[in-house]
Amino acid sequence: MQKFLDIVQMNIPDIQKEFDEYQKENFPVRSPEFFCLELNGEAGELANLEKKIWKGRDITPERLADEAADVFIALMNYANSRDIALGEAVRNKLKIIDEKMREMKRQGKEY
């Protein structure tokens, strides 16, 4: 687990920084609220494709990948607009999840 946490902490900040620079160079300044709405819209589009798969429709892996990429980009833009250090936030959250999983396991429960 520690190795994974270190990888998260080392790599996400660089990715996030590059996204911020790309966004600032190529797109108009947007508010955090805009990026939050965009993130939810993109996640909704991805969820809609999953719903179609669940209903038996044939959705290509490429369409899923395209929407997943949109969600990732929107998340990066939102985090940057709110000055959220995503690598640190993810690392901290994973630690919390790991601790909770360990405690539940000690109690004989599944996470």
Using the predicted structure, report yes or no on whether residue 5 has a pLDDT greater than 90: no
Using the predicted structure, report yes or no on whether residue 16 has a pLDDT greater than 90: yes
Using the predicted structure, report yes or no on whether residue 22 has a pLDDT greater than 90: yes
Domains of the chain: 2-106 (1.10.287.1080)
Using the predicted structure, report yes or no on whether residue 9 has a pLDDT greater than 90: no
* Cβ neighbours around 20 below 10 Å, total: 16
pLDDT band at 45 (very low <50, low <70, confident <90, very high): very high
Q: Cα dist. 58→34, 72, 76, 91 in Å?
A: 32, 23, 29, 36
